[in-house]
Amino acid sequence: MSGNATGAEAPTTEALDELRRALPTLRLLTDAADLEHYGRDWTRRWTPAPLAIALPANIEEVQAIARWANAHGIALVPSGGRTGLSGGAVAANGELVVSFERMNRVLDFNPVDRILTVQPGIALEAVHKAAAEHGLIYPVDFAARGSCSIGGNIATNAGGIRVIRYGNTREWIAGVKLVTASGDLLELNRGLIKNSSGYDLRQLVIGAEGTLGFVVEATLRLTDPPPASQVMLFAVPEMAALMRVFAACRASLNLSAFEFFTDRALHHVLAHGAQKPFDEASPYYVVSEFDAADEAQQQAALDVFERCLNEGVVNDGVLSQSDAQAAALWRLREGITESLSSHKPYKNDISVRISAVPAFLDEMSSLLTREYPHFDVVWFGHIGDGNLHINVLKPAELADADFVAQCERVTRLLSEVLARHGGSISAEHGIGLVKKSYLAGTRSAAEIELMRGVRRVFDPRGLMNPGKLFD
């Protein structure tokens, strides 16, 4: 056995030596701590075991790495902020991790086209700051903005908290440069607004999780900042009232966001240092953000609250009176993920049409109450666009493997509920390793076979982020 292991190891060692000689300036990490750090994402479910970590500094080095990998049959895994929750950036089978953390700069701003060109390793928060320097915004936003990267956002078509107004990442990508498995560089769309010259391969790459090639440059559309806004937190007495509050807000306010969370979510955020918003507890809470640039818009918000209160669909509410108070209210929603991290949560990221939310919530609630009687289950999400996050917290006394096995069984049942309501097992975190066994609940067999065919065309040897989406 040891002889076979040595025989398998020697070619990869020689291949790494060849890569070093071909790219003497390439940073290449092989220490155990680096392999563990770069070989996993937030799922923490797989033991990282990459061959090495490459940190290219430019597109040419990425192309050379791809050609080297293709010549030696070595798989590549892209790495950005590794904040993903589906195992999309996990390297557990001797792959070379290609980290884009050194490719993290703003390359260009065009004031006429209002586009910002960036490298894939730049953090979302840095993009926000760069746009603000020009009096504009890049509107995609979520709690992990300080650590997630644009490349990862593109790979999963990330959504976030303001999808209800601005849409997902794909609406804001004017063009990308892609390095394919063969090392070719494709320039897709080139920032054009209109381009009816065949297939839009840019959109095909967005959400592909690095399986069609690696994004090495992105051109982002920017837009005007929204009007002055306010944030309102509602305490909601029952699940059935959530969508009635949404309907009331959408009818009278120009919404930017409409987010909900449960009392269990609030419990964990408060334990993590947030301020308690109300004296009396409620089972559900809603954070809404809306335009409030003048007195009429501000009065409309107060009217919505009063109407909801009179109808009994809210118990209480608070309207932000300053930026600091708005941030404090948002913290109650955005601090949830961090407050749960120490509990090793099992996560589901699901979506249904907005019109299907009430019926789906009712059926899902019954399922989770029945199947998780002794587990702490935390719900929250972007209910204004039909996206829900379910977090099941691991009991301290339960072994990791047993916990995951129990959760996987319930996820299979949940996927059946989703299929009945025409939903998706992955709203914004991708399929990765975690959800690929449930892909057939969202996509037909014919669709999956077409996706496999597309993947084979881009990557005939299956070296680009293998094992993700499907085997």
* CATH number for the domain that contains residue 133: 3.30.465.10
Do 147 and 112 have their domain in common?
yes
DSSP string covering 8-61? HHHHHHHHHHHHHHH-TT-EEE--HHHHHHHT--TT--S----SEEEE-SSHHH
Residues forming beta bridges with residue 176, ordered by sequence position: 188, 218
Q: What is the mean pLDDT of residues 147-170?
A: 94
Q: How far apart are CA 457 and CA 455, in angstroms?
A: 5
The 10s digit of each residue's pLDDT in 32-42 is 999 999 999 88
Q: What is the mean pLDDT of residues 381-398?
A: 92
Q: How far apart are CA 79 and CA 120, in angstroms?
A: 10
So what's the pLDDT on residue 341? 86
- Give yes or no for residue 170 having a pLDDT over 70: yes
pLDDT band (50, 70, 90) for residue 265: very high
pLDDT band (50, 70, 90) for residue 9: low
Q: How far apart are CA 250 and CA 241, in angstroms?
A: 14
So what's the pLDDT on residue 1? 29
So what's the pLDDT on residue 101? 97
So what's the pLDDT on residue 12? 83
232: amino acid identity, one letter: M
Do 115 and 55 have their domain in common?
no
Number of structural domains in the chain? 4
So what's the pLDDT on residue 124? 97
So what's the pLDDT on residue 5? 37
Q: What is the pTM for the complete model shown?
A: 0.92
Which of these, 90, 71, 94, 27, lies nearest to 183 by C-alpha position?
Answer: 71
- Give yes or no for residue 6 having a pLDDT over 70: no
So what's the pLDDT on residue 4? 34
Which residues, 6+ apart, have CB-to-CB distance to 343 below 8 Å? 268, 376, 393, 394
- Give yes or no for residue 58 having a pLDDT over 50: yes
Long-range contacts of 275-283 (CB under 8 A, 24+ apart): 275/328, 277/233, 277/235, 277/318, 277/329, 277/332, 278/235, 278/315, 278/316, 278/318, 280/235, 280/315, 280/316, 282/235, 282/236, 282/237, 282/315, 282/316, 283/236, 283/237, 283/238, 283/239
So what's the pLDDT on residue 28? 97
- Give yes or no for residue 10 having a pLDDT over 70: no
Do 110 and 98 have their domain in common?
no
Do 94 and 118 have their domain in common?
no
Contact (CB, 8 A) for 315 and 235? yes
Residue 164, domain extent = 106-221
pLDDT band (50, 70, 90) for residue 344: confident
462 in a domain, yes or no?
Answer: no
435 in a domain, yes or no?
Answer: no
Do 88 and 139 have their domain in common?
no
153 in a domain, yes or no?
Answer: yes
Do 86 and 168 have their domain in common?
no
Q: Which residue has tokens 């069609």?
A: 212
pLDDT band (50, 70, 90) for residue 7: very low
Do 295 and 358 have their domain in common?
no
The 10s digit of each residue's pLDDT in 411-448 is 999 999 999 999 999 988 899 999 999 999 889 999 99
Do 266 and 280 have their domain in common?
yes
Q: How far apart are CA 259 and CA 331, in angstroms?
A: 12
Do 91 and 128 have their domain in common?
no
Percent of the chain whose predicted confidence (pLDDT) is above 70: 98
Do 123 and 180 have their domain in common?
yes
Q: What is the mean pLDDT of residues 104-125?
A: 98
- Residue at a domain's end among 221, 250, 269: 221
* CATH number for the domain that contains residue 275: 3.30.70.2190
Do 422 and 355 have their domain in common?
yes
